[in-house]
Amino acid sequence: MCGIVGYIGDKKVVPILIDGLKRLEYRGYDSAGLAVLEQGRMVVHRSVGKIKELESAVWGANLTGTVGLGHTRWATHGRPTEENAHPHTDCTGDLVVVHNGIIENYLALKEKLIAEGHAFRSETDTEVIAHLIEKYLKEDPDIERATRRALNDLTGAYAIGVLWKGDPGRIVGARCQSPLVVGLGEGDFFFASDIPAILSHTRNVLFLNDGEMVVLTREGAHVTTLNGETVQRPVEKVLWSPILAEKGGYKHFMLKEIYEQPRAVRDTIRGRFSEESATIFVEGMEQLEEHLAAIDKIILIACGTAWHAGLVGKFMIEELARVPAEVDYSSEFRYRDLVVGDRTLVLAISQSGETLDTLAGIKEAQLRDCHTAAICNVVGSSLTREVEGVLYTHAGPEIGVAASKTFTAQLAALYLFALYLGQKRGTLNAERVRALLADLVRLPQQIEHVLHLDAETERLAQQYHAKTDFLYLGRGINYPIALEGALKLKEISYIHAEGYPAGEMKHGPIALITEEMPVVILAPQDKVYEKIRGNIQEVKARDGIVIAVCSEGDTELPGKVDHALVVPRTSHLLAPVLLAIPMQLLAYHVAVRKGCDVDQPRNLAKSVTVE
């Protein structure tokens, strides 16, 4: 997830771009850049790090141009370096492009353009767009038509800004599955990835739909489809405060990120499989590929929520790839007297890629000749530079300290990895792969559906936020979600909560049950459903309060529990993704009810870089 800003008008563009990028920093901050048309010259500045680095770089340049583009990056393809920072240019340097999204077919396009003589400077998917437009400009020197032709060659997600020295009176924006909002000022016009970048200049905005382009001149904004038909978009008035706007209108970043999960999962799986050919492409694992057939054990190491993802991943890997998988806390793994070797794959899971215990675990693994890989959300983070293979989640920056979208993105990535491993080891035939992929493709839409439980979980929070103890129960692949639900509640509402395998009730926890204790039980209609129903009866027999998460169409359970949260049916391997959502929402609303600092809970840090 990156942030783009474009401006054309009568004011100096640099301060407008810098201010706009600062307000989009929550969308990504590993590098930034801007381009200005300065007295007929295209001037481009790019820098690694936060926007303030870019601000320092341009300060002395005394740029007075009044049209330009800016970009703040969250790396998905290509490390966070100056060469990979946006804006990207064509061969001449006279055309610049900024982009937010993922171009799925960029490698094929890049090869073709190189064969036609284009010289590339970066590892990014974005640079392909600049060379495509350059190619079409040579045939027809009109920036709008050339951009339209280039966009019709792309598959994937984009919100782009384009500026060409050959037409200084226009900037072009366009979107497909990534947001772009247009700001209508007094004689000056803007576009940006999100409202905060525009709000201090104008509250009059219009939102582009997928497949639409906008051409901004100093006279106005003209919106068309990719086929060139003019579109009338209503002008809307934004009434948000700048702070509220940065959270997309949500009260907290955590709630915004809970709602971003359909996109986070969609972006994580995007371009990584073909249902038609029943194949999985996991770029970033090439170095490991030749060793995968010989691997006889996988050890997943992680901390906190990522460790819960590892527990789910164990089920996926063992069922789909038929490889024994262990899961270990990184902080335990690194001190264990390990029985591992060159037929062991140690797979680290970490959203930040900076968790010290996980980094140390990988180093221990490497000392023992293990192969190593990572599932990570931050391109170029320390962990990704240590291991042989990386499967990135594309959840975008997660600002809330409590993990939400990065967790479900990790589960989606683990599912893809298990499919990829199964395919490499010959344990999955094409028919099975197609069925498993069909379940995955449905997932983002099903997550959208589960988010409708928001109001219901808020009502539960109103009823139970004063309780001092919660118990979370689950079985099998959903036991890790009981652990995750308990962790979410603990870390943001400070209420004591425990996750337990439901089958363990009789071995101790049942002594805790009273009419004061809410017990959250994950009860999808899977192969252990009857066992879970027995556990629910045990709790009810002791006057416990049962909040059950059930499958759509379950006519039995809802009448036998105090509260039923209903989620769509999916494969047992993907049920944890859907069950995690009500856990996140319940913890969020309890914490809000208790007046806790949801985004920055006490004593916690987003990334634990110490022991």
For ligand AGP, the binding residues (CB under 6 A) are 303-306, 350-352, 355, 358, 401-403, 491, 607-608
Q: What is the DSSP string of 540-589?
A: HHTT-EEEEEEETT--SGGGGSSEEEEE----TTTHHHHHHHHHHHHHHH
Nearest CB to ligand AGP, comparing residues 31 and 305: 305
Report, in Å, the least distance between residue 307 CB and ligand AGP. 8
Q: How far apart, in whole angstroms, are the C-alpha atoms of residue 494 and residue 267?
A: 32
Nearest CB to ligand AGP, comparing residues 196 and 304: 304
Report, in Å, the least distance between residue 256 CB and ligand AGP. 15
Pairing relationship of beta strands 3-8 and 67-73 according to DSSP bridges? antiparallel
Report, in Å, the least distance between residue 360 CB and ligand AGP. 12
State which amino acid sits at residue 256.
K
Strand partners, 472: 499, 520
Q: Write down the number of H helices and E strands in the chain.
A: 20, 26
Nearest CB to ligand AGP, comparing residues 339 and 610: 610
Cβ–Cβ under 8 Å, residues 222 and 191: no
Nearest CB to ligand AGP, comparing residues 178 and 381: 381
Nearest CB to ligand AGP, comparing residues 310 and 476: 310
Q: How far apart, in whole angstroms, are the C-alpha atoms of residue 337 and residue 339?
A: 7
Report, in Å, the least distance between residue 305 CB and ligand AGP. 3
Q: Which residue has the tokens 């996926």?
A: 316
Nearest CB to ligand AGP, comparing residues 350 and 446: 350
Nearest CB to ligand AGP, comparing residues 316 and 492: 492
* Residue 2 among the catalytic residues: yes
Q: How far apart, in whole angstroms, are the C-alpha atoms of residue 96 and residue 88?
A: 5
Cβ–Cβ under 8 Å, residues 4 and 158: no
Pairing relationship of beta strands 41-48 and 31-38 according to DSSP bridges? antiparallel
Report, in Å, the least distance between residue 192 CB and ligand AGP. 29
Report, in Å, the least distance between residue 402 CB and ligand AGP. 4
HEC sequence for 57-87? HHHCCCCCCCEEEEEEECCCCCCCCCCCCCC
Q: What are phi and psi of 560, to 5 degrees?
A: -110, 5
Helix, strand or coil for residue 326?
strand
Q: Please identify the residue of the shown chain whose CB is closest to the bound ligand AGP.
A: 304
By CB neighbour count within 10 A (0-12 exposed, 13-18 middle, 19+ buried), where does 369 fall?
Answer: exposed
Q: How far apart, in whole angstroms, are the C-alpha atoms of residue 529 and residue 110?
A: 51
Nearest CB to ligand AGP, comparing residues 134 and 491: 491
Least Cα distance to 168 among 35, 28, 331 occurs for 35
Q: Which residue has the tokens 């509640």?
A: 489
Q: Which residue has the tokens 């946006």?
A: 86
* Sequence-distant (≥ 6) Cβ neighbours of residue 270 within 8 angstroms: 102, 104, 156, 157, 394
Distances (CA, A) of 275 to 271, 421, 574: 11, 17, 17
Burial track 386-417 (b if 16+ CB lie within 10 A, e otherwise): bbbbbbbbbbbbbbbbbbbbbbbbbbbbbbbb
Residue among 2, 176, 370, 596 flagged as catalytic: 2
Which ranges in 226-303 belong to alpha helices (H)?
A: 242-246, 253-259, 261-269, 286-289
Q: What is the DSSP string of 504-540?
A: GGGGTGGGG--TT-EEEEEE-SSTTHHHHHHHHHHHH
Helix, strand or coil for residue 590?
helix
Cβ–Cβ under 8 Å, residues 156 and 271: yes
Report, in Å, the least distance between residue 410 CB and ligand AGP. 8
Least Cα distance to 273 among 263, 284, 281, 265 occurs for 281
Report, in Å, the least distance between residue 23 CB and ligand AGP. 25
Nearest CB to ligand AGP, comparing residues 181 and 608: 608
Report, in Å, the least distance between residue 577 CB and ligand AGP. 16
HEC sequence for 415-469? HHHHHHHHHHHCCCCHHHHHHHHHHHHHHHHHHHHHHHHHHHHHHHHHHHCCCCE
Report, in Å, the least distance between residue 50 CB and ligand AGP. 19
Report, in Å, the least distance between residue 401 CB and ligand AGP. 5
Least Cα distance to 569 among 532, 529, 521, 518 occurs for 529
Nearest CB to ligand AGP, comparing residues 68 and 310: 310
Nearest CB to ligand AGP, comparing residues 290 and 611: 611
Q: Which residues are catalytic?
A: 2, 606
